[in-house]
Amino acid sequence: MSLLRIEMLGADVLRQKARAVPAPGPELERLVADMFETMYDAHGIGLAAPQIGRSERLIVVDVKDGDSAPMALLNPVVVEFGEGKDRVEEGCLSIPGVVATVERPASCVVEATDTAGNAVRLEAQGMLSRCLQHEIDHLDGVLFIDRISPIKRKMVLARYRKLAEK
C-alpha cells in the first residue's frame, strides 16, 4: 500500500463529472487499499477518487460510528433522500483547515457495486448518510462549499487562501 497525493481546491479533476468504473479487479483492489490508507493518514472519514486525481466513480468511507464497517463503493448513486434535513459542520480533505455548516437530507438510500462486483443498496442516516452524500458529490464535481451561501463561501475561501499562504 502507498499514500496517494490528495488534490487541493483548484484542481480541475475536482470540478469534473467522474466516469463510471467498469469492473472490479486486482488494480482496483490496490487502488482501494491505497485510498483507505491515504484517508486514514489524513484523518478523514471519506475519500473520492477525484480527490486523488482519478476521474472515476469510486469512494471509500469509514465513519467509525460502530454501526457501519469501512466500505468501498463503485458507481454509487443516491436513489432516494429522506424527508428530514440536518445542519452539520463539514470539512474536506481537498480544502484543509476550513469547515462550514451544510444542510443535507438526514437520510438517503444509495445503490452501488462493491469491490467484489455485488450490487449493494444502503439505507443510511446520520453521519454515514452525510458522508456518502459528500463523497458522491465529489463524483459530480460538487464540493461542500457549493452547498453553502455565497457570503459564507466567500468567507471560507478567504480563510482557506490565508491558511494556504502559510
Residue 78 belongs to a domain: yes
Residue 7 belongs to a domain: no
pLDDT at 113: 97
pLDDT at 106 over 90: yes
pLDDT at 160 over 90: yes
Residue 6 belongs to a domain: no
Residue 4 belongs to a domain: no
pLDDT at 65: 76
User: Do 98 and 70 contact (CB within 8 A), yes or no?
Assistant: no
> Residue 94 sits in which domain range?
12-165
pLDDT at 68: 80
pLDDT at 1 over 90: no
Please tell me which residue in 89, 123, 135, 165 is annotated as part of the active site: 135
DSSP for 53-105, written as a single string: T--BSEEEE---SSSS--EEEEEEEEEEE-S-EEEEEE--TTSTT--EEEEEE
Residue 45 belongs to a domain: yes
Total structural domains in the chain?
A: 1
Residue 145 belongs to a domain: yes
Residue 158 belongs to a domain: yes
Residue 3 CA, distance from chain mean position? 17
Respond yes or no: is residue 135 known to be catalytic: yes
What is the pTM for the complete model shown? 0.95
pLDDT band at 166 (very low <50, low <70, confident <90, very high): confident
Helices first, then strands: H and E counts in the chain: 3, 7
Strands 71-81 and 107-113: antiparallel
Condensed to tens digits (0 to 9), the pLDDT of residues 35-91 reads 999 999 999 999 999 999 999 999 999 998 777 899 999 999 999 999 999 999 999
Residue 41 belongs to a domain: yes
pLDDT band at 165 (very low <50, low <70, confident <90, very high): confident
- CATH code for the domain in which residue 122 is found: 3.90.45.10
